[in-house]
Amino acid sequence: MKLHILGICGTFMGGVAALARELDFPVEGSDLNVYPPMSTQLEALGIALKSGYLPEHIASDTDQVVIGNALSRGNPAVEAVLDRGLAYVSGAQWLAEQVLPGRTVLAVAGTHGKTTTTTLLAFLLDRLGGEPGFLIGGVPADFPCSARLGKGACFVVEADEYDTAFFDKRSKFVHYRPQIAILNNLEYDHADIFPDLAAIERQFHHLIRTVPGKGRLIVNAEDDNLKRVLAMGCWTPVETFGIDAPADWRAVLDHADGSAFRVLRADIELGRVQWHMAGRHNVMNALAALAAVSAVGFDPVMALPWLAQFGGAKRRLELLTEAGGVRVYDDFAHHPTAIATTLAGLRARHPTGRLIAVLEPRSNSMRLGAHAEHLAPSLDHADIVLFLARPELSWNANTVIAALRGQGHAEASVDAVLAHLHALVHTGDTVVFMSNGGFEGAPHRFAQSRVPQESQT
């Protein structure tokens, strides 16, 4: 069966393409723009890519079109699929039908931390000999690709609450029917499709309804919204994790930045972890992954030493350079809570010197202003904030700037942001770029500019 994948360069759809290719499906695909890192990964797999959603890019011998949730009615490729009567399916449904049957599915859900926790869980299962399959919504440092079938019984999937496709408005994660579900946290987001928090809570409860009684729910004990979801009805054993709340799995921080901590299960210490990750939120991610490893029969004590070797995921507080005495990080944070935890982790790791946050309000919720009132408090740990306030931004960044503890500045273009940053940065500073998009390459452009020319040749 020949597939054409629309939206193939997105991290999820690119993973679907890689799995399809591994299953020996002939695969082609198109996207609005063909761009790395996914384009590089797919081209290495021999998958033909087309730039633009043109009807003629869908070959006449295509048997099925897999449609990503970024495409809507009115898109020329979507209209061609419907007019030509081609068989079509969402990426989530394709995964559920072609890959997940017969596997022990471990799904990682939550507003924050999905990619890191999914990557970490796949990494631990792999190092413990489980040979898991996985689909990660990002680029893992410890694997050569973002998705693989694996030879073991387990399949780990990043379980997104965003809607499935233009023809299926359910959250993607309801397709996966996991045996083990991690619920990392739950906050209001995706203002373009959810009117309020209650609507997201209902989708999370739909996920809970699909987990069998012999399975396991692994739930953040510190999240009141998740407690409310469980109160809607729960038919599966629950294990909790936390740091400051009573929980089945707990961590005691030995270092404030989360780089060293002890793991306790039922208040019995399992061991101590020292790793390269920063932030309290990553310690929570580790607890969730350890609980899931245990839920499928592996010894969590054996997993602890491997945490020190975990490389993380690209763009999750990724250190790009320390050249010229300036540390430059790239991060995916795009929600006030994620911004706050990222900055808190960096401040704990680098207590001296200025912390400069460079923010692109790019997510749909950010652009719509759904998080505007919470943005200034989330940036409290930053000494200086630079906003990319494009002309089409629907809210006034100056209102947020006026409420900041530190200095704030808004620029209308990436070039202006970088010029301003170059003018103010000096030795000892820590700079973190935060966006859920490419930021026009700003993090790497700035990092590269810090490297002396003779070091680049």
pLDDT per 10-residue tile (average), the chain, 457 residues: 95 94 96 79 90 96 96 97 98 98 97 92 98 92 92 97 93 96 85 80 96 98 96 97 97 92 97 91 95 98 96 80 90 81 86 92 64 79 90 77 86 93 93 85 88 47
- The pLDDT value given to residue 457: 37
HSE-CB for 7 with a 13 A CA cutoff: 22
- The pLDDT value given to residue 337: 79
- The pLDDT value given to residue 453: 45
Can you give the length of the chain in residues?
A: 457
- The pLDDT value given to residue 324: 83
CA separation, residue 424 to residues 329, 383, 384, 427 (Å): 17, 12, 10, 10
What is the rounded CA–CA span in Å between residue 64 and residue 80? 13
Residue 19 and residue 135 in contact, taking contact as beta carbons nearer than 8 Å: yes
- The pLDDT value given to residue 455: 41
What is the rounded CA–CA span in Å between residue 185 and residue 288? 11
CATH 3.90.190.20 domain position(s) in the chain: 318-456
Residue 228 and residue 187 in contact, taking contact as beta carbons nearer than 8 Å: no
HSE-CB for 203 with a 13 A CA cutoff: 28
Q: What CATH code would you report for 100-309?
A: 3.40.1190.10
- The pLDDT value given to residue 332: 79
Instruction: Please check whether the domain covering 3-91 is classified as CATH 3.40.50.720.
Output: yes
Residue 374, token pair as written in the block: 């919470």
CATH 3.40.50.720 domain position(s) in the chain: 3-91
Computed on alpha carbons and rounded to an integer, the radius of gyration of the chain in Å comes to: 22
According to CATH, the topology of domain 318-456 is Protein-Tyrosine Phosphatase; Chain A (3.90.190)
Chain centre distance of CA 63: 31
Residue 353, token pair as written in the block: 């010197």
CA separation, residue 178 to residues 173, 218, 233 (Å): 9, 12, 17
What is the rounded CA–CA span in Å between residue 339 and residue 375? 8
Cis peptide before 26 (omega within 30 of 0): no
CATH 3.40.1190.10 domain position(s) in the chain: 100-309
